[in-house]
Amino acid sequence: MAGQSSGSEELAVNESEVLKGHEGAVLAVRFNRDGNYCLSCGKDRTLRLWNPHRGIHIKTYKSHGREVRDVHVTTDNSKLVSCGGDRQVFYWDVTSGRVIRKFRGHDSEVNSVKFNEYNAVVVSAGYDRSVRAFDCRSQSTEPIQIIDTFQDSVMSVYLTKTEIIAGSVDGTVRTFDIRMGRELVDQLGHPVNCISLSNDANCVLASCLDSTLRLLDRSTGELLQEYKGHKCKSYKMDCCLTNTDAHVVSGSEDGFIYFWDLVDASIVSSFRAHSSVVTSVSYHPKDVCMLTSSVDGTIKVWRK
Amino acid sequence: MHQFGPDPWICGLVWAGPYSTQKSETRFVRPNLSCTHTRYPYPKPVSSGRTINKSFPVVSSLPCRLQPCFDFPLFAPVASPLYCISPPLSMADVDEEDYVYFGTPIEREEEISSRKRKAIAEPGTLRSLPPWKQEVTDEEGRRRFHGAFTGGYSAGYYNTVGSKEGWTPQTFTSSRKNRTEVKKQNVYNFLDEDDLKDIGGNTLETSMQYDTFGFTAAEFARKKAEEEQKKRPSAIPGPAPDEIVLPASSSIGMRLLMKMGWRQGHSIKDSNAESLSEIRREARKAFMALSGNKAEPDLSEKDADGTDVFPDMSIDALRNSENTPVYVLNPKQDMYGLGYDPFKHAPEFRDSKRLRESKSREKNRSKVHMGSLLSSNSKKYAPGFGIGALEELDVEDEDIYASGFDYEQTEVELEPSKAVSSSSGDRMLRLEHKKQGSLLGFKLASDSDYKLERFYPPAIPSNFRPIHKFAAPLDQTLKNYNSAPPPDAQPPEDPNLRLLIEGSAAMVARCGKSIEDLYMEKSKTNPLFLFLKSGAEGHDYYVRKLWENKQKFVDNMKPAEKLTAENRGRILGERPLASTTSGVNDVSVKAREVINTESSHGDTFTKPISLADLPDSAIKQFKHDPAKQERFEQFLKEKYQGGLRASGTISRTITSTMSEADRARERLDFEAAAEAIEKGKRTIQISAPSTDHTKDLLGFGEDRFVSSTFIENSETKMEETKVVYPRREQFEWRPSPILCKRFDLIDPYMGKPPPVPRPRSKMDSLIFLPEIFKSSNKEDAKSPVGNSLEASKSGLKEVEAEPSASEADVAPTSPKNVERPVDLYKAIFSDDSDDEEADAGPSLNQEPNPVKSSEGANKTLNRLVAGDFLESLGKELGLEVPPDSRPGPSLNATISLPEEHKSFKGGDDRDNMSLTKVKEKESKDYGSTLDSSREKKRSHSKHHRRRSRTPDSDPDSGSDSDSHRQHRSRSKKRRDRRDRSRSQDSESNDEAYTNRKERRKKHRSRHREHKKKDYGEKNSDKKRRS
């Protein structure tokens, strides 16, 4: 897996571990907050906790009735939240591996789920064109807020301290500013598959289904850059920025991983990582380390 | 028997009554018969109706049918009455034995016990008792209560309807809450169960006779059969199945139909049509057999099976639909739930499934089929795990990540040739099977003389073109004139002749040869037209002129005549229609054209564009794929040269190797590319659309994300030059308080009224406005309006434009449906000690016309609400709102109000004032420390100012009174005065009325007396006369 460009030294382009265990496609893989562990979920209806650096499978969480599409972990690593085909958001206890609560409310599959800064609210985005917020602190399983201004399936949701950002297939990235009480709609004109925030939280990277990544300035909604070359047309795929925000990473439907330079949008590196669609990419928050997951059932750990 | 009435004759009467067939009656009538006999000859009962009525009013209430029955025997011989009543008698004969006993009958135990219970008395002993102690029992020993219609001797208390205590009518209920209901009575209310049992035969019952379809009959027969089955021991143990036991029963209608040749399951129609269709089907079969090449989809099989799948299927289906549906037991072969139809929404797959099933049954699958069957049957679920027993298979369970290889495999299966090859084998087998079973005892001949001769369709020569070419153009004649201009000729000297020649030439040129012929004919008689003949004087000139004129005419006519739809379209830049360009002027084609135009109006309009001036790079978009590039160029040519569209022959031939779906996709691609070129021509920045689009699609099948926007993309992308993405919009959004709390943020909408739904249109905003308004009334007049205003200031896009302008517009008209708070009502209608109240209240109450007053009240309310709202709005905006700045129309209304409406005006003011008071009480941010009296004063003075302006206010209030007390006393006085005068008025009125009445009465009575007198006089006159 040789990098093609000079910038490859800073990029995680060398395969260091392969995490095998999922039966069937792995749909998402995520680092935890400090990057020491990772969580994966997949078509086999399980969540798996790994130590990616040592390549160890730690725990399996089974309770989902259908495929699991997204998982997120609290900052203190004590709770998990996951969602998927069974229209519920599962709130897990990490150590016991039990489901604490199942948040219901979504009418359809749930595509994405996130904790907020204080781990008190779970925000989920679903195929039912809504974003719903659930309160972890109350016993209620009903949503405390429903945002249903979307016109189409909401693919991805992201939270900052004060905002809920969600990308939808209706071609919009919507920012719900809780502090200001307003909704900012950035129309991209193309279905948004995934959104990701830069580490300085100034930019939002939106992966669109026209095989283009678009980088938007969050304050103005201005289009900063477009990244092309990969293939993203029909699958839910992830994109992210590297730990230094210098590069943009995305998988491709042909099993490739692409690295672009953030500023001039040139492909810095691209290599075949998996035999099939790369469903998810996750970059270590601090180190040069990347996780990729694929339909082929493997999770790969990449380093420099 | 036990009991006789006071008059035995009456017994006879009762007996003859309509309800007298009962045994018990016969019992005690029977011994009495002799009496009746003796009595009948008596002439007295002839007019007996009356006597009966007198003595037994109960009987008199019987229907009059009693009389004729009774009358009859009167004129008959002695024996005839007996005859008349003989039918019941004959029945009674059986019971007669009961009364002539020899020895003691052995009675059953339960009978004894039941009788014991009732202490049955012997008839003799009973008879000895006083009548009120005689107790009648029925055959089961229960005390029998005689219905009013069947004797009634022991009915009630001493044959009365009363009791020992007296008679109390039951229907009378005196209660305010329990109003007496109208009780419906019918005969049945007066019948006891015995009576009912008697008349049971007369009740309505269903008859089997008209049970056309035999449902009930069948049911009934089955039940009967079941009963029988139960009774007799059957050879087959256990309950016999319904199908076996069910006896055939058919209704009359059915039998008639059957005799006329109808069979169950067929529709009732003329057999002619049936035979016609039969013939047609046969012909079709024959045709299929003739042209039975392998490529033909195997539809004929289905035809043989009885289900028609052919073009005229619609006709057949229509006919079939007329039939009464025959219930066919469909054996359950699948593993779905009962009634679940997996192909409910996709019937097109049902056939393919059937095909597959038949294939698997015959077990002649090829290897390819095996694979395809597996892949398509079980959709290839994601590997490694199954699905729970309680979950249904769903879309998401199928492996969407499967590689493209499987996709191709399924494609293979759907290919027609394969399907046919398999089904042809299927057909053979089935046919064989059918033939073997066709005639019992017969074997198929191995070789037969009869051989079906097959004619293959004629081979079309390769150079054949299915378009007819005319040998010469239609407008050849015109061209002839074009081709050879005759030599110029001198006009003749005679100006008249010249004019004539010119005129006729013009005429001929315009109207054609026929006119010339006409002239020719004329020329025979008229020498004037000699010039028409060749060689005559002026002929050359005529020819020349004719040519000139024709030329002119053609030149003139060409554009006018040729301004057909297509020409116009070309001028306007429309995309030519396929059918018009084909140049066929057939009527049917034109009709089709009409339909086409209607359906394809959407995409007919494009900009006229020529291929020539396109940059080369634009056209060469598919360089990497020369075949595709060729097709694309072809497409462009067709598109801009007005040829046939993609459905045309050329593109068909080129793309024949592609599947229909691919072709369609490619067409879309081309379309997009062409549009891009068009756009690019303007903006000089051509970006080719993703060239590997179709390749991708081929590789991975359909898009997983089906969204409307994605489909639109091809268009929106092209419009990017116009609509710039990304585009940012802002809306108001309300986080729920709990969300804010959990995010550790301050709710931006804390303490603010509930959210205004985001208006989608101007209409919506108008609709929602009263809500704001309502809240302004309810809570505090200021904040919500201010809010919305603030919001509008802060630049919230949609809310922005409306509130200030439209609220003002809407408010005066809308408040009718606004819920008014209670305080407002209180302020209006409570007994406030305010002087205004004193002034206005009573006058309101004393309003002579209540309708008008309520109307007025409504008006004032509306006005008041609107006014108040405007005022608060004005305050909010920091404007000085003069107190009497009300909307014009309402002011006008008050002005134009007549005298009695003035009170409303007063009420209005009072309302306004009290409302301000309420406001003051409630609004906190208003924070006015004004003392209430001062406030009152202010509003009061306001009121007076306003009042003084109304032109026809009465002078009393018009003269500005300063002190409240004075005003109040004055107004009180005025009120009193008014009251008094009114009451006096009414009194006097009443008096006058009564006086008048009396007078009228007197007058009338006098008049009557007069009349009487007259009458009496007349009478006396008559008497005298007589």
**Which of A175 and B174 is assigned the larger pLDDT?**
A175
pLDDT of residue A48: 92
Mean pLDDT within B957-964: 41
When mean pLDDT is compared over B31-40, B249-258, B576-585, B880-889, the highest value belongs to B249-258
Q: How many of the other CB atoms lie within 10 Å of CB of B741?
A: 17
Contact residues, chain A, for B745 at CB < 8 Å: 162, 178-179
DSSP string computed for B515-558: HHHHHHHHHHH-GGGGGGSTTSTTHHHHHHHHHHHHHHHHHHHH
**Structural domains of chain A sorted by starting position, each given as residue range(s) with its CATH number in brackets:** 14-303 (2.130.10.10)
When CB atoms are compared, the residue of B704, B742, B748 closest to A180 is: B748
Residue, of B145 and B694, whose pLDDT is higher: B145
Give the lowest-confidence range in A15-19, B281-285, B392-396: B392-396
β-strands A56-62, A68-73 pairing:
unpaired
Q: How confident is the model at residue A68 (pLDDT cuts 50, 70, 90)?
A: very high
Strand partners, A68: A84
Residue A202 has pLDDT above 50, yes or no: yes
Instruction: Check residue B160 and give its pLDDT.
Output: 63
Which of the residue ranges A175-184, B104-113, B783-792 has the most confident prediction, judged by mean pLDDT?
Answer: A175-184
Chain B residues inside the 8 Å CB shell of A177: 733
Q: Indicate whether B83 pLDDT > 50.
A: no
Angle at B968 between CA B964 and CA B969, to 5 degrees: 120
pLDDT at A268 over 80: yes
* Residue B934, pLDDT score: 45
Residue B35 has pLDDT above 50, yes or no: no
Distance CA A139, CA A144 (A): 12
- Chain centroid, CA B806 distance in Å: 37
Residues 14-73 of A with CB under 8 A from B: 23-25, 43-45, 65-67
Mean pLDDT of B405-410: 41
What is the average per-residue pLDDT within B689-713? 41
Q: What mean pLDDT is predicted for residues B429-456?
A: 64
> Across the interface, do A121 and B703 touch by the CB < 8 Å criterion?
no
Question: Of the spans A123-137, B406-420, B591-605, B885-899, which averages the highest pLDDT?
Answer: A123-137
pLDDT-based confidence at B540, cuts 50/70/90? Answer: confident
Band the pLDDT of B438: cuts 50, 70, 90. Answer: low
Encode burial over B985-1008: b for 16+ CB neighbours within 10 A, e otherwise.
eeeeeeeeeeeeeeeeeeeeeeee
B736 touches A at CB < 8 Å: yes
For B541-586, write each residue's pLDDT tens digit: 888 878 877 777 666 554 444 556 766 777 676 665 554 444 444 4
Q: Is-cis flag, bond preceding B63, omega within 30?
A: no
B723 touches chain A (CB under 8 A): yes
Quote the tokens at residue B409.
Answer: 């495999």
pLDDT at A280: 92
pLDDT of residue B748: 83
A129 touches chain B (CB under 8 A): no
Give the mean model confidence (pLDDT) for residues A163-188: 90
Task: Scan for tokens 């379309």, then name that residue.
Answer: B671
pLDDT at A112: 92
For testing contact with chain B, the best of A23, A128, A158, A178 (most B CBs within 10 A) = A178
- Give the model's confidence band at B128: pLDDT under 50 very low, under 70 low, under 90 confident, else very high: confident
Q: In chain A, what residues touch B723 (CB-CB under 8 Å)?
A: 189
pLDDT value at position B830? 55
As a whole-number percent, the residues of chain B with pLDDT over 90 amount to 0
In the structure encoding, which two tokens stand for residue A123, read together?
């925000």
Kindly list the residues from chain B whose CB atom is less than 8 angstroms away from the CB atom of residue A147.
733
User: Which of A126-130, B403-407, B662-666, B792-796 has maximum average pLDDT?
Assistant: A126-130
Rounded distance between C-alpha atoms, residue B845 and residue B839, angstroms? 11
Q: Is the pLDDT of residue B869 over 60?
A: no
Tell me the CA distances in angstroms from B409 to B64, B366, B565, one per residue in order: 92, 13, 48
How many C-beta atoms lie closer than 10 Å to residue A16's C-beta?
Answer: 15
Q: To the nearest whole angstrom, how far is the Cα of A91 from the nearest Cα of chain B?
A: 17
The mean pLDDT value of chain B amounts to 55
Q: Which candidate from B383, B723, B727 shows the least CB-CB separation from A24?
A: B383
Check pLDDT > 80 for residue B26: no
Q: Over range A136-160, report the average pLDDT.
A: 90
Share of chain B above pLDDT 70, in %: 23
**The pLDDT of residue B989 is above 80:** no
User: What is the mean pLDDT of the segment spanning B996-1016?
Assistant: 54
Residue A125: per-residue pLDDT: 93
pLDDT of residue B737: 86
Q: Are A278 and A292 in contact (CB under 8 A)?
A: yes
Is A178–B735 a contact, with Cβ atoms under 8 angstroms apart? yes
Mean pLDDT of B317-339: 64
Three-state secondary structure call for residue B1007 = helix
> What pLDDT, on a 0 to 100 scale, did the predictor assign at position B741?
86
pLDDT at B481 exceeding the cut of 50:
no
The pLDDT assigned to A29 comes to: 93
Phi, psi of B474 (to 5 degrees): -70, -35
Contacts of residue B557, Cβ cutoff 8 Å, sequence gap at least 6: none
What is the amino acid identity at position A257? I
> How far does the CA of residue A9 sit from the closest CA of chain B (Å)?
32
Residue B203 pLDDT greater than 90, yes or no? no
Q: Given pLDDT bands bounded at 50, 70 and 90, which one contains residue B88? A: very low
Sequence-ordered list of residues with C-beta below 8 angstroms from that of B35, at least 6 positions apart, any chain: B8, B9, B11, B12
- Answer yes or no: do B739 and A185 touch at CB < 8 A: no
Cβ neighbours of B710 in A, within 8 Å: 169, 190-191, 209
Q: Which candidate in A27, A43, A278 is best for mutational testing of the B interface (most B CBs within 10 A)?
A: A43
pLDDT at B283: 73
Interface probe with A: pick from B387, B393, B405, B710, most Cβ of A within 10 Å: B710
CB contact under 8 A, B726 and A162: no
Checking if the pLDDT of B685 tops 50, the result is no
B939-948 confidence digits (pLDDT tens): 444 444 444 3
Supply the pLDDT for residue B234: 53
Is residue B608 predicted with pLDDT exceeding 50?
no
Query: Nearest residue of A to residue B727 by CA position?
Result: A187
Instruction: Select from B184, B125, B131 the least CA-distant residue to B156.
Output: B131
What integer pLDDT is reported at residue B1014 of this predicted model? 52
Contacts of B690 in chain A (CB under 8 A): 210-211
- Give contacts of A121 with chain B, Cβ < 8 Å: 739, 742-743
Chain A nearest CA to B399, separation (Å): 9
Q: Considering only alpha carbons, which residue of chain B is nearest residue A118? A: B743
Residues facing A185 on adjacent strands: A174, B729
User: Residues A252-279: what's their mean pLDDT?
Assistant: 90
Instruction: Please report the pLDDT score of residue A47 as a whole number.
Output: 92
Judged by CB atoms closer than 8 Å, whether chains meet at A222 and B703 is answered as: no
**Option in A120, A182, A236 nearest B731 (CB):** A182
- B707 contacts chain A (CB < 8 A): yes
Strands A68-73 and A79-84: antiparallel
Q: Which of A84-93, B43-52, B243-252, B475-484 has the lowest mean pLDDT?
A: B43-52
**pLDDT value of residue B913:** 44
User: Does any CB of chain B come closer than 8 Å to the CB of residue A160?
Assistant: no
B728/A185 Cβ within 8 A: yes
CA dist B786 and B797 (Å) reads 17
Contact A178 B739 (CB under 8 A): yes
Give residue-wise pLDDT tens across range A110-121.
999 999 888 899
Q: What is the mean pLDDT of chain A?
A: 89
Structural element, H or E, at residue A83: strand A79-84
Partner A contacted by B703 (CB < 8 A): yes
Higher pLDDT, B863 or B783: B863
All residues of chain B having their beta carbon less than 8 Å from the beta carbon of residue A65 are 388, 391
Distance CA A266, CA A255 (A): 19
pLDDT above 60 (res A298): yes
Cβ under 8 Å to A: B residues 774-833: 796
Per-residue pLDDT band at B1007 (split at 50, 70, 90): low
Q: Is the Cβ of A171 closer than 8 Å to some Cβ of chain B?
A: yes
- Is the Cβ pair B384, A24 closer than 8 Å? yes
Mean pLDDT of B835-839: 42
Residue B40's pLDDT band, with cuts at 50, 70 and 90, is: very low
Q: What is the pLDDT of residue B146?
A: 55
A220 touches chain B (CB under 8 A): yes
Q: Please report which confidence band the pLDDT of residue B469 belongs to, taking 50, 70 and 90 as the band edges.
A: confident
- The residue among B580 and B336 whose pLDDT is bigger is B336
